[in-house]
Amino acid sequence: MRIVFFILLIISNIALSQNKSTNEDIIPLDIPINLSGTYGELRSNHFHSGIDIKTKGVEGLNVYSYDNGYVSRIKISHGGYGKALYILHPNGTSSVYAHLKKFSPKIEKIVKSKQYRKKSYEIEFFPKENEIKILKNEIIAFSGNTGGTTGPHLHFELRDANQIPVNPLLNSNISIKDNTPPFVSELFYTKDSYDVQNKHKIEKISNTRYLADTIKNSGKIGFGIIAFDKHDLANNKNGVSKISTYLNGNKILSISFDSISFNETKHINTFIDYAFFKNNKKRIQKLYVEDYNPLQFYTTKLNNGYISVNHGESYNYEIHLTDSNENTSRLTIPIIGDSLTNSLDHYKNKSFSELDFIETKKDYEFDFIDAKVDIPKEAFYKDLFLDISYKNDILSIDKDTIPLLKPITISFNTDRYNDSIKDKLFVGKLSEKNKMVNYVYTIDVLNNKKSSTKTLGNYMIKLDTINPYISPIGFKQNDWISNFTNLKIQIRDNESGIRKYSGWINDKWILFELNTKKGVLVYNFDDNVIKEAKNNLFIEVIDNVGNRSEYKTTFYRKPN
């Protein structure tokens, strides 16, 4: 009887170890929640669709399911979310867990089976309803650093029944310790029909109050700010939850970062001053709505956020910034109407005589001797002037200070190149100051190298005849490595970049995981592919233009 009781006790403890106590808050980690990123935060070409939860700089923490449900999607990629798990809940909402190190054993087994069947690390599949059932607070994965990250953390999302991401801090029981109000870093204003931002001096007069110097100007004015939020237990510069503006006590504009669809998020470059960001590495949030801005998170936009200042009249303009815990900061801007002051007049005389005028409702084609640019309708948000030229084998499409709504197509004629090297050519984008050439996905079309891009700048044809680099880490030919838990291989390609890699042990395909940040392939021996002491390893790496390298070696290991 004692033996039966002991066995039941062990089973009970195992079950409890797989789930958190239901008395605890339903949060995806069992450590205090500190954030390195908030919902709606300003990111490159998108608003952040979830919260980034710190994992104390380490990987491997238990990740728990937010609620009951079933796994509806699993995606593994080298970039983006890395290893990501999607759970559909009974009420139609979903939760997303990204940048994972690995999945729980029952999920990992299914994932690896599909990876080995497909012979690919990158994979995406959609399990059938209730095929992989999940309980509230069940361990579903372990935190990691996979995909497009700068450090270990858990990216967590909540999505409504329409798959629109919503703010977890406003739509769940997840909370953080935060009594710190948002802070204003810089203030700007611009006159209608000018694209220049005029910086204006501000002073912090208390923990929650800021005061700007009096503005003396007139006409139609729009304001912009650089502002952040901080939490009590973290020093990260995060995004705010709400922004409201007032003129003489009347609300002019209100923005709520609580629900931004994936169709909308790409339009972030209409909300920030894109040119200013590209030139200064700072994001100004525009507190006015231009005609081409399609974003829907404005709950109030009287006069599209602009104010009209008349000569001789005084105004009081305020900006209120609020975080998810309702901490609020206020910036007050006194304004005196003065028609004699116009610090922006000198921009009126800017000459566009040597530029090409682009209307958004028309298609354009620019043909040069060995290059071509095709601009489709509505590639840009508004009509504008572009500087397009082709000199010294460089196709220059203005500067990356103008956001694109749709991709444009660029192509280079390759007739002047020897046939023996044509397949080693690719389209590359020159970095700032033209120091580096970065690969752009390239296809061959009738003796042309063709690419699509959503970034303006300088492009050229680049030749890559150098094979990728492959080297073992920590072992050499004929070594015994029975004490190794994994096999690590360094790979890199400094020209067009790595397109594909594969590995085999004793002619059996093995699952290599590429750490893109370090350029290291990792194979875990717990995959149980090895059945013999002597093992022949073969690795193949191919770059984006087809240059190929092989690596062969023999190692010894005690069979599992």
The answer to whether 98 and 177 are in contact (CB under 8 A) is no
Amino acid making up residue 395: L
Would you give the DSSP letter of residue 117?
Answer: H
- pLDDT level of residue 10 (50, 70, 90 thresholds): very low
Q: What are phi and psi of 548, to 5 degrees?
A: -130, 135
Judge whether 183-341 and 356-463 match in fold. no
Tell me the per-residue pLDDT of 517-553, one tens digit each, with 9 for 90 and over.
Answer: 999 999 999 988 888 999 999 999 999 999 999 999 9
Share of the chain above pLDDT 70, in %: 92
Report how far residue 519's alpha carbon sits from residue 133's, in angstroms, rounded to the nearest whole number: 35
Q: At the topology level of CATH, where does 356-463 sit?
A: Chondroitinase Ac; Chain A, domain 3 (2.60.220)
Alpha-carbon 478 to chain mean position:
43
- 21-171 folds as Glucose Permease (Domain IIA) (2.70.70)
Over 70: is that where the pLDDT of 342 sits? no
The predicted pLDDT at position 72 comes to 98
Q: 156-160, 267-271, 337-341, 392-396: which has the minimum mean pLDDT?
A: 337-341
Check if the beta carbon of residue 356 is closer than 8 Å to that of residue 334. no
More reliable by pLDDT, 460 or 173: 460
Task: Give residue 486's identity as a one-letter amino acid code.
Answer: N
pLDDT given at position 347: 39
Residue 341's pLDDT band, with cuts at 50, 70 and 90, is low
Q: What does the alpha-carbon distance between residue 489 and residue 496 come to, in Å, rounded to a whole number? A: 20
The residues pairing with 216 across neighbouring beta strands, listed in sequence order, are: 336
Beta bridge partners of 523: 487
Please give the DSSP secondary-structure letter assigned to residue 467: P
Judged by average pLDDT, the poorest of 14-18, 52-56, 215-219, 356-360 is: 14-18
Using the structure block, give the residue that is written with the tokens 């005389």: 349
CA-to-CA distance for 28 and 54, rounded, in angstroms? Answer: 11
The pLDDT mean for the chain works out to 91
β-bridge pairing 183-191 and 520-524:
unpaired
Q: Which CATH architecture has domain 183-341?
A: Sandwich (2.60)
DSSP-derived secondary structure for 342-383: -TTGGGGG---TTSEEE-TTS-EEEE-SSEEEEE-TTSBSS-
Q: What is the pLDDT of residue 533?
A: 95
* Helix, strand, or coil (residue 216): strand
Query: For position 27, what pLDDT does the model report?
Result: 79
Look-up of token digits 């790595």: 498
Decide: 425 and 419 in contact? Cβ < 8 Å. no
- What are 96-119's pLDDT values in tens digits? 999 999 999 999 999 999 999 999
Burial, 2: exposed, middle or buried (Cβ in 10 Å; 0-12, 13-18, 19+)? exposed
The mean pLDDT of 334-356, rounded to a whole number, is 65
Amino acid at 234: A
CA-to-CA dists, residue 60 to 36, 80, 141, angstroms:
18, 19, 9
DSSP helix/strand/coil, 345: helix
Amino acid at 405: L
For 44-59, what is each residue's pLDDT tens digit? 999 999 999 999 999 9
pLDDT of residue 3: 42
3-state secondary structure of 551: strand
* Closest C-alpha among 541, 470, 551, 549 to residue 505: 551
**Residue in 474, 468, 534 with CA at minimum distance from that of residue 502:** 468
Return the domain boundaries, the chain: 21-171, 183-341, 356-463, 469-556
Predicted confidence at residue 344, as pLDDT, reads 45
List phi, psi (to 5°) of 198: -105, 110
391: number of Cβ within 10 Å? 8
Amino acid (1-letter code) at residue 307 = I
**Cα(81)–Cα(99) distance, rounded to whole angstroms?**
5
Task: Judge contact between 351 and 333, C-beta under 8 A.
Answer: no
> Is domain 469-556 classified as CATH 3.40.190.10?
no
Has residue 180 got a pLDDT over 60? yes
Question: With the CA atoms of 450, 456, 458 and 459 taken in that order, what torsion angle do they form, in degrees rounded to the nearest 10?
Answer: -10
In this model, does residue 60 exceed pLDDT 60? yes
Tens digit of each residue's pLDDT (9 = 90 or more) over 390-448: 999 999 999 999 999 999 999 999 999 999 999 999 999 999 877 789 999 999 999 99
Q: Which position has the token pair 């069940």?
A: 138
Residue 262 has pLDDT above 80, yes or no: yes
pTM as predicted: 0.91
Query: What pLDDT is attached to residue 405?
Result: 96
